[in-house]
Amino acid sequence: MGRVINEDAFQIIDFLSYLYKSLQEEEYINFLWDVFYTNYEKEKYQFAFIAYHMLFVSFVYFSIWKIKINREKDFAKALIGFNKDCEKNMMNASSPFAFSEINESKIFRFFKLVGCKNDKIGEFTKIVKIRNDISHSNGNIFFNSQDSLDEKINEVLQCIFKIQEHTECTIENIFNEFLKNNWDSNAREWLDDGDQIRETLIRKNYFSKKDIEHCLSFNINLLEQKKNFIKIKKLFKTFQKEYSEN
């Protein structure tokens, strides 16, 4: 019988995207979780951590994607210092996984755009250093017990909680703009409110379950001065109904 997974490890799922733009992306995340889960059960803790770290980095990419979507000008300024090809690729990216072109230790610096200080960024990059140390053929087994892996999983989760807290304002801005722009323009790509929410809010922005939960408490009265407020409120009520039940 395999080792029972620490329940805390499952928390990362709630911070990953709720919907993906492609089946390939969804299969990739499912693959990483399966690798983590299988190796954990079989007590191959070193390989389990590598997979969990890759899930963590995917979460980081999804978080930076929201910043890029919501604060494109600031994101462009943050690319100063990267080579022209990288800068172009990042600005034209159609998927968060395009950020894999950037060194993982440097990717965290984008969180300065949402108020992260150097000490927190240093904390995040330590996770990358650990992964680098264990992924080389150096003759060492760094994680040889469940406790040693669970300790690092907890460190990863603490980083996730801090990043999520810093990106909550960005999540609110995206949600606010979605509600306003959906009715400020005459053209609607989707005829159904549920389609609008699913495709142009959640899937497009790689919203996670935690992002959705945060938006469920949005103060809709902040938009009461907008024209078509009745329709905006109806859209919000649809969002609450469909996703509070989930």
Say whether both 129 and 220 belong to one domain.
no
Structure letter (DSSP) for residue 44 = -
- Distances in Å between the Cα of 165 and the Cα atoms of 1, 43, 54, 214 are 38, 32, 21, 10
Task: Establish if 2 belongs to a structural domain.
Answer: no
Which of 140, 166, 192 corresponds to the end of one domain?
166
The model's pLDDT over 109-136, given as tens digits with 9 standing for 90+, comes to 999 999 999 888 888 888 877 766 666 5
In a domain, 132, yes or no: yes
| Amino acid in the structure at residue 102 | I
Which of 139, 166, 193 marks a domain boundary? 166
| pLDDT band for position 81 (cuts 50, 70, 90) | confident
Q: Tell me, what's the pLDDT at 182? A: 67
Give the per-residue pLDDT at 135: 62
Q: If DSSP codes are grouped into helix, strand and coil, which group holds residue 102? A: coil
Reply yes or no on whether the pLDDT at 187 is more than 60: no
Q: Same structural domain for residues 187 and 87? A: no
Most distant CA atoms of the chain, gap in Å = 66
- 187 and 233 together in one domain: yes
Domain termination residue (choose one: 132, 166, 200): 166
| Residue numbers of the domain that contains 91 | 9-166
* Domain total of the chain: 2
Q: Let me know whether 156 and 179 are in one domain.
A: no
Closest CA to 107 of 165, 35, 59, 169: 59
188, 66: one domain: no
Q: Is the residue at 1 inside a domain?
A: no
Give CA separation, 169 vs 67, 113, 202, 215, in Å: 10, 11, 16, 11
Q: Give the separation between CA 168 and CA 216, rounded to whole angstroms.
A: 13
Q: Which two tokens stand for residue 111?
A: 């969180």
Q: Where are the alpha helices (DSSP H) in 23-145?
A: 23-41, 45-70, 72-78, 84-91, 104-107, 118-134
Same domain, 182 and 238: yes
- Average of pLDDT values for 132-145? 64
Q: Is there a domain that residue 3 lies in?
A: no
Q: Is there a single domain that holds both residue 152 and residue 78?
A: yes
* 123 and 184 both lie in a single domain: no
Token pair listed for 223:
């938009």
Most confident of 14-23, 38-47, 99-108, 215-224: 14-23
The 10s digit of each residue's pLDDT in 146-181 is 888 999 999 999 999 999 999 999 999 999 999 988
Whether 154 and 200 share a structural domain: no
| Residue 4 is assigned to a structural domain of this protein | no
